[in-house]
Amino acid sequence: MNETEFLTRVSSILDAVERQADHWFETLDLDVETKRDGNVLNLVFDNGHQVVINSQAPLKEIWVAARRGGFHYRFDGEVWKDTRGGQDLHDCLSQICSDAAGQRLEVKL
């Protein structure tokens, strides 16, 4: 994947996560503030928990930072997989956001 394709994929993912936060507010009355600066998305939950999702174009990775740690994801042709052999990006973001919100959430990418 070239850099343009990578940035297009990242933008699509960040857009999807922002839409999810809006959906959570509308359907669950869950207040999550989104702050986006280019290819960095910061989710701030009303209890102060933060989740930062950003792109690392030179490495073609997506990085996620949250209270439970930092994670790096690389596209394997089908899904974004943790570079250390962990969960895929969808599952990790769902779990991190659920932990931050104190209720079950699913992040659909």
Topology (CATH) of 3-101: Metal Transport, Frataxin; Chain A (3.30.920)
**Domain chopping of the chain, boundaries:** 3-101
| Mean pLDDT, residues 5-31 taken together | 94
Answer for the pair 88, 79: CB distance below 8 angstroms, yes or no. Answer: yes
The pLDDT of residue 101 is above 90:
yes
Q: Which whole number is the average pLDDT over 22-37?
A: 93
The whole-chain average pLDDT of the chain stands at 94
Q: Give the CA-trace dihedral at 95, 97, 101, 104, to 10 degrees.
A: -40
Confidence at residue 9, expressed as pLDDT on a 0 to 100 scale: 96
Residue 108, φ and ψ in degrees, nearest 5: -100, 125
